[in-house]
Amino acid sequence: MASPRPLTGTLSMRFWGDLVAVLAELDLPTAPVFVGYSLGADLAVHYAAEFPDAVAELVLIDGANPLPEPFITEADLAEFRAMADDLATRQEAELAKGTAHQVLLTAQNILDLNLEIDVVRSAILDQYRRIDHPIRMIMSTSIAGDSTEGRAPRHNQLWRGGIERLVRERPHVLTHWLDTDHRLVFTHAPEIAEIIRSAHHPAGKPTC
């Protein structure tokens, strides 16, 4: 295997290092289909670009979007900081219940990670250009919700624009749009599972 190229940003580099270490430890007998959601999709793209022989196919769910401009601007910081505070509070509540394998991030960690992802996605098209494997995208039509007010319309338009940019550059990428927001893995799990099952996979090919 080639030496992995670390992602930009301290937190995303830690997730990248964990992914590389876990898969090296698994030592899978055949290359798997990688399924990644949100940041997991971005990690899957970087892994496939860096270790092409270790991946058979990518299924990317609402992430790894080559956005044409930053998703989070100065005008969005207050909203994203509030979202990070809420998520950190909910994580602490889950940890108090004794939830196994819980990764606890502070509100600042969560905000910093979102800002890092913006930087990662600004250059992720270069990673797609290095991938020759089949790629299937499962994306939400309204990542920021269905409100017609505030910043939601901009974010939703930007999200679709990034995927349209990807498909123009890499026409072989198959895209499925689900009429929902970023919670699609929770609200539309059966539909997502069916899309993945319906994809052509050789018999016996594992899925990660």
Domain at 54, CATH number: 3.40.50.1820
d(C-alpha 155, C-alpha 67), whole Å:
10
In a domain, residue 153? The reply is yes
Q: Which residues of the chain have pLDDT under 70?
A: 1-11, 99-103, 200-208
Task: Render pLDDT for 99-147 as a digit per residue (tens, 0 to 9).
Answer: 666 667 889 999 999 999 999 999 999 999 999 999 999 999 999 999 9
In a domain, residue 208? The reply is no
Give the pLDDT of residue 61: 98
In a domain, residue 85? The reply is yes
Tokens of 125: 């098209």
In a domain, residue 4? The reply is no
What backbone torsions phi and psi does residue 2 show, to the nearest 5 degrees?
Answer: -75, 160
In a domain, residue 106? The reply is yes
Tokens of 20: 């590389």
Total tally of structural domains belonging to the chain: 1
In a domain, residue 205? The reply is no
CB–CB of 56/30 below 8 Å? Answer: yes
d(C-alpha 34, C-alpha 60), whole Å:
8
Q: Which runs of consecutive H residues, i.e. helices, occur in the chain?
A: 10-26, 39-50, 77-96, 107-122, 124-128, 152-169, 184-187, 189-198
Amino acid letter for position 116: E
Q: Tell me the whole-structure pTM to 2 decimals.
A: 0.88
Residue 138 belongs to what H/E stretch?
strand 135-140
Task: Provide the 10 A C-beta neighbour count for residue 175.
Answer: 14
In a domain, residue 207? The reply is no
Residue from 45, 32, 42, 19 nearest 132 by CA: 45
Give the pLDDT of residue 175: 97
Give the pLDDT of residue 207: 59
In a domain, residue 194? The reply is yes
Which residues have a Cβ under 8 Å from the Cβ of 9 and sit 6 or more positions away? 112, 113, 116, 119, 120
Tokens of 100: 């196994």
How is residue 133 annotated by DSSP? S
What backbone torsions phi and psi does residue 110 show, to the nearest 5 degrees?
Answer: -65, -45
Relative to beta strand 135-140, strand 174-178 is parallel
Q: Which domain holds residue 106?
A: 10-198
Coil, strand or helix: which one is 176?
Answer: strand
Residue from 52, 50, 58 nearest 34 by CA: 58
Give the pLDDT of residue 185: 97
